[in-house]
Structure 1
């Protein structure tokens, strides 16, 4: 019975960490059915998501520093969206006053929701890491991953080489998390894949509700290619690096600005493998 309780508690914390992503999908779904005559759909989505973020901050669900991380990732995501739309990778066909270079401003929140989830789950499960490769190695790899999203339109796509580098750089890195006082651990690369997979599922939901459209979805909706999981896998790494560094600094566990350490070895705390 105890494992079931642990699983339920873990699921509850995961669900609470997904409040902002869930708000995005609910807004997309409802706005696709209920049309308001005095405001464009994309503009309405932006207003709703701004109100949700404000409400989460005022209620204490998100801290000021976490809001800062979300804003940073919103800018990173919006810049990528503007470039990808310009290159014809996908489009936002509906009109809106809040469009910038053909991209509605709410689109950045879809990337920011990943950072929101990371911040929430880190705090709720009292997460930490062992074997962190250091800010320099992680930062350079994260920068290369982000740059590849832009450059692969002109030069060969290096995503699979970058994925291999991820396995090499993070092969010793484990996530430590706690559920009702019991300590568990998971390889960080596995966590990257799992989050990337669920974002891919979310992407299918978003395109179904016309949040955006890929060129092959103009005539009729069909599932997003499974190959997109690799893109989200790599994008998750960028968010983890940003969030992890924030949490590292705030926890005051900086060791020459590069290394993660935990107070106790997970085995000594009765860690379970997940």
Structure 2
């Protein structure tokens, strides 16, 4: 059924639509395609919200969440809702996210913590945690296909890779040499100032600034992070006594992380042939 739904959403034959009716239908398709691209995100978040804190059948909830996340991923590949190449991109981002998590929860940093017991904890991080980062990669991978994304005026690829590496490094180094996220954000803004993403919600191409897409995705991740901390999946130090909203500065962190994710996905999907490299 989902495969048939995908075919329906991706049917870009010309429609005889105009005015308000076209705008409304394109808006609905835009929403449906985004929701479909969030298949893994929605499935995983639903399990997170429904899973009892004590776990089930004597199995801790962190361990069950790992099993469920693996099950969802392999089901998506089996049902041809995700290709093996797309799964590789998701797995790579899982490893990148897990490395960051292990550093952030370490004894000398303790930016946040996972308070519950689990058999599948490594360096204080439950293995399911990497899938929260992989969810971002999964969304971008799926959206690329659903919207037939094309990028125009992409900066030279080595520059994009460099800024992505610096963004990732800053998540580690800011504990020792200062936080340079706003300098990196300014560099990214200059780098992607002319870059636009071309997407197809229905049968016609539309476009938007790529940086706006990064910021919007970062905002929705920040909202999801508030849900996760509210349900006690992890806690920031200021939330140990009582829950409070995640600081708005995390929005900027997530937006920068989306830039890094985008670069990883773009590289692994071998889509350079669809990218227009800006001339010097």
What is the TM-score normalised by the length of structure 2? 0.88
Superposition map of 1:186-225 within 5 A: 186-225=208-247
**1:83 alignment partner in structure 2:** 103
Quote how far apart the aligned CAs of 1:220 are. Answer: 1.1
Quote how far apart the aligned CAs of 1:261 are. Answer: 2.7
Whether the 8 Å CA contact 2:54–2:61 is kept in 1: the answer is no
Question: What is the Cα-based RMSD across aligned positions, in Å?
Answer: 1.4
Superposition map of 1:98-177 within 5 A: 98-177=120-199
Aligned length: 255
**1:50 alignment partner in structure 2:** 70
Looking at structure 1, the residues matched to 167 and 251 of structure 2 have their Cα atoms a distance apart, in angstroms, of 14
Looking at structure 1, the residues matched to 208 and 171 of structure 2 have their Cα atoms a distance apart, in angstroms, of 28
Quote how far apart the aligned CAs of 1:179 are. Answer: 1.6
Looking at structure 2, the residues matched to 158 and 184 of structure 1 have their Cα atoms a distance apart, in angstroms, of 34
Looking at structure 2, the residues matched to 149 and 34 of structure 1 have their Cα atoms a distance apart, in angstroms, of 32
Matched, 1:261 2:270: no
What SS does the corresponding residue of 1:212 show, helix, strand or coil?
coil
CA separation of 1:252 and 1:222: change in aligned 2, threshold 3 A: closer
What SS does the corresponding residue of 1:261 show, helix, strand or coil?
strand
**2:82 alignment partner in structure 1:** 62
**1:180 alignment partner in structure 2:** 202
Looking at structure 1, the residues matched to 268 and 62 of structure 2 have their Cα atoms a distance apart, in angstroms, of 31
Whether the 8 Å CA contact 2:54–2:60 is kept in 1: the answer is no
Q: Which structure 1 residue ranges, 5 or more long, are not aligned?
A: 255-259, 263-274
Looking at structure 1, the residues matched to 31 and 138 of structure 2 have their Cα atoms a distance apart, in angstroms, of 17
Whether the 8 Å CA contact 1:32–1:209 is kept in 2: the answer is no
After the TM superposition, list the runs of 4 or more consecutive aligned residues in structure 1 that deviate by more than 4 angstroms.
none
Whether the 8 Å CA contact 2:53–2:61 is kept in 1: the answer is no
CA separation of 1:225 and 1:252: change in aligned 2, threshold 3 A: closer
Matched, 1:94 2:116: yes
